């Protein structure tokens, strides 16, 4: 595929695992009533089921991710393999996680399978709603979405994504968003708050955005329970 050649991404380099709709609702402190009629971007969407379920509640949902350059069947096969591999890895580090939500590793496995099943099925019926793109660039119009959600990417991989990438990606998300961008969590994979969070917040506040760190009801990785809300001043 042409996009694949441009990005240089190989399927073996990705982990195609996603969270469920219910997890998203907790992570981003959302209610079902808020979704109807809203244009929502999930970026990067991965194998998450938020878009599929939000659409059923009347939202106009779009997921964007570099991995969508691959075919649905390829992604499903890779995702199922990744789930099994991840479950084996978690056995050795269970203490790093809170198990109130899932109960056991098998409970977690069932949720991850539910997410990818819903996602792949939705891809089949709404292929145009899964857009291949490589951050920090987004192929959308200015203020095309009312709300943009971004889970387990920025801040999570702070050891691989530098400050300029964080700034560029957030400004691009804000460009395509009319009201608000929400990022979860605000910590890296070790559970530490993003090192340059204060600097980032000052930078965005100086541009007129309204920022707050909000404690949510979701916590699986220990200490990963806070989202960053970035609102445009019109609200």
The whole-number pLDDT of residue 14 equals 79
Tens digits of residue pLDDT in 117-168: 999 999 999 999 999 999 999 999 999 999 999 999 999 999 999 999 999 9
Pairing of strands 145-151, 226-231: unpaired
- Name which of 94, 117, 131 is nearest 20 in CA terms: 117
pTM reported for the whole predicted model: 0.93
Whole-number Cα distances in Å, 132 to 61, 106, 110: 15, 31, 27
**In the chain, count of helices (H) and strands (E)?**
7, 7
Q: What pLDDT does 8 receive?
A: 52
What pLDDT, on the 0 to 100 scale, is given for residue 139? 97
DSSP letter (8 states) at residue 139: -
Helix or strand run (H / E) with residue 75? helix 72-90
Q: Supply 127's token pair.
A: 């292929």
Q: Could you tell me whether strands 210-215 and 39-42 are parallel, antiparallel, or unpaired per DSSP bridges?
A: unpaired
The residues with which 60 forms a beta bridge, in sequence order, are 39
Residues 6+ apart with CB under 8 A from 150: 42, 43, 44, 173, 181, 182, 183, 184
DSSP letter for 92, please. G
The better pLDDT of the pair 10, 1 is held by 10
Peptide bond into 101 cis (omega under 30): no
Percentage of the chain exceeding pLDDT 70 = 96
pLDDT digits over 8-51, tens only? 557 777 789 999 999 999 999 999 999 999 999 999 999 999 99
Return the residue matching tokens 């989202």.
227
């Amino acid at each position: 595929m042409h996009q694949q050649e441009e990005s240089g991404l190989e399927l073996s380099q990705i982990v195609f695992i996603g969270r469920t709709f219910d997890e998203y609702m907790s992570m981003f402190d959302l209610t079902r009533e808020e979704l109807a009629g809203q244009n929502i971007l999930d970026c990067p969407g991965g194998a998450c089921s938020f878009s599929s379920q939000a659409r059923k509640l009347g939202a106009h949902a779009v997921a964007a991710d570099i991995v969508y350059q691959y075919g649905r069947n390829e992604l499903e096969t890779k995702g199922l393999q990744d789930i099994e591999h991840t479950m084996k890895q978690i056995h050795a580090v269970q203490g790093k996680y809170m198990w109130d939500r899932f109960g056991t590793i098998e409970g977690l496995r069932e949720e991850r399978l539910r997410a990818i099943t819903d996602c792949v099925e939705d891809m089949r019926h709404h292929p145009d709603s899964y857009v291949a793109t490589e951050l920090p660039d987004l192929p959308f119009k200015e203020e095309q979405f009312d709300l943009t959600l971004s889970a387990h990417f920025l801040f999570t991989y702070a050891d691989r994504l530098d400050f300029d990438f964080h700034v560029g990606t957030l400004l691009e998300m804000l460009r395509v968003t009319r009201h608000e961008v929400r990022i979860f969590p605000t910590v890296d994979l070790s559970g530490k708050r993003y090192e340059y969070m204060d600097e980032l917040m000052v930078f965005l506040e100086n541009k007129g955005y309204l920022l707050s760190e909000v404690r949510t009801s979701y916590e699986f990785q220990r200490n990963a329970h806070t989202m960053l809300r970035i609102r445009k001043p019109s609200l």
